[in-house]
Chain A
Amino acid sequence: MNTFFLGMALFLVLNILAGLWRVLKGPEPADRMVAAQLFGTTGVAALLLLAQALESPVIRNAALLFALLTVMAVLAFVRNTSYRDKHNNDH
């Protein structure tokens, strides 16, 4: 049973690695940000599966933190780029 959960976690890590293609390719920063957000949720699922597979429930706290905090990077991204647009338009 634990092997099954570990296998599922492995499958999710493979998903993340496949998604890295989008990060490398782009083309826009927004596309890369979408990929980062997807990895965040995939990572939450992988950590939950690992917590079950390794029978260490405290790992669920790490998953909880990822679920809670991944959106912060997106907020910072939008904040910084919206300024740059304005800045470029002024010139």
Chain B
Amino acid sequence: MNLAFDLLVGLSLVWVAWRIVGSRDHFQAVVLFITFGLILSLAWTRLQSPDIAIAEAAVGAGLAGVLFMDALGGLSSSPGSPRPAVPLTLLFPCLILASIMAIAVLFVPEDFLGLIPVVHGALTDTSLEYPVTAVLLDFRAYDTWLELGVLLVAVLGVMGIRRIGSISGSRLPAPADPVGRWIIRILLPIMVLIGGYLLWLGAFAPGGAFQGGVVLAAAGVMLWQAGHPSLGLLPRLWWIVLLFCGFLSFLILAFWSLFHSGRMLAHPENKLWILGVEYAATISIATCLISLVLASPGRCRVRDN
């Protein structure tokens, strides 16, 4: 049964991916991509990686769909125009890459544990209990730091292309109808609650800054979709502070530890430090993702009636 499930999920992933690339209809490709995220989440679950499954669920179900729909709404071409076909010659480099990766997997020894023993051995050096969070926030903190930088660059890129300096003046969807207001009244508090829960969970179980940040961002985007300015209400200075606070907290930590212990990004023993950095990162991730959606080119200023 295990093998049947794995084969089915693996083959359907490849098939759906191929249909996404080959689809001639934009909207069809978007819906297929949302489905792809769902099947991918099942695959990560089967691979015993609940962290990635939860992240994939949060991004794939929540924000990716919204961003794609807005991108479609912003396309200048008429909605019916087909997508250009993907050239077949691209197939060969892809096949070569896939076979190289397959060979690489075949050469992994069966009882290979990777970095698991190293990470578990080093857990005593950090104040965190959960190995994945310890890797993300402590052992490889510069990775997380630079990922926050990547998110910032993405936001700056969108703002640059759209030629806007802040999100406060950006377009606003029409006010939600009664049903929209009803689900927001129910779902919004639950979203904030679950975002906080995932952040808190990250200390000892799958969850953490990224997953929590994405769910909080989904709450902000939900509010905006109902016609509320959401983060746009903030003064520009505050918005910039929220946008950069995750990146800056890592920077401060790097300098502080450089002068105190001579090593960059070495966390002090106090757990408050690491929690502060994680919370700042969560706020920055949520702000960046909300800004991405609010600055996206979707069209929604007018609503017919």
Contact = CB atoms under 8 A, between A and B. Distances in A.
Q: Do chains A and B touch in the complex (CB under 8 A)?
A: yes
Contact of B1 (A3, A33, A70): A3
Interface in B218-265: 218, 221-222, 225
Interface of A: 3, 6-7, 9-10, 13-14, 16-17, 20, 23-24, 26, 29, 32-33, 35-36, 39-40, 43, 46-47, 50-51, 54, 56, 58-59, 61-66, 68-73, 75-77, 79-87, 89
Contact of B42 (A46, A75, A81, A87): A46
Given A50-B42, A69-B218, A86-B302, A61 B54 contact: yes
A62 B58 CA distance: 7
A9 B39 CA distance: 12
Contact of B298 (A6, A29, A80): A80
A79 B304 CA distance: 11
B48 A54 contact: yes
Contacts of A26: 25, 28
A76 B218 CA distance: 12
The B interface is mostly helix, strand or loop, or mixed, namely helix
9 contacts: A7-B1, A10-B4, A47-B41, A62-B54, A76-B66, A79-B225, A80-B300, A85-B304, A89-B304
Contacts of B225: 72, 75-76, 79
A35 to B, nearest CB: 7
A17 to B, nearest CB: 6
Contacts of A87: 299, 302
A51 to B, nearest CB: 8
Given A84-B299, A86-B303, A6 B2 contact: yes
Contact of B27 (A32, A40, A47): A32
Contacts of A85: 304
Nearest to B34: A36
A39 B28 CA distance: 14
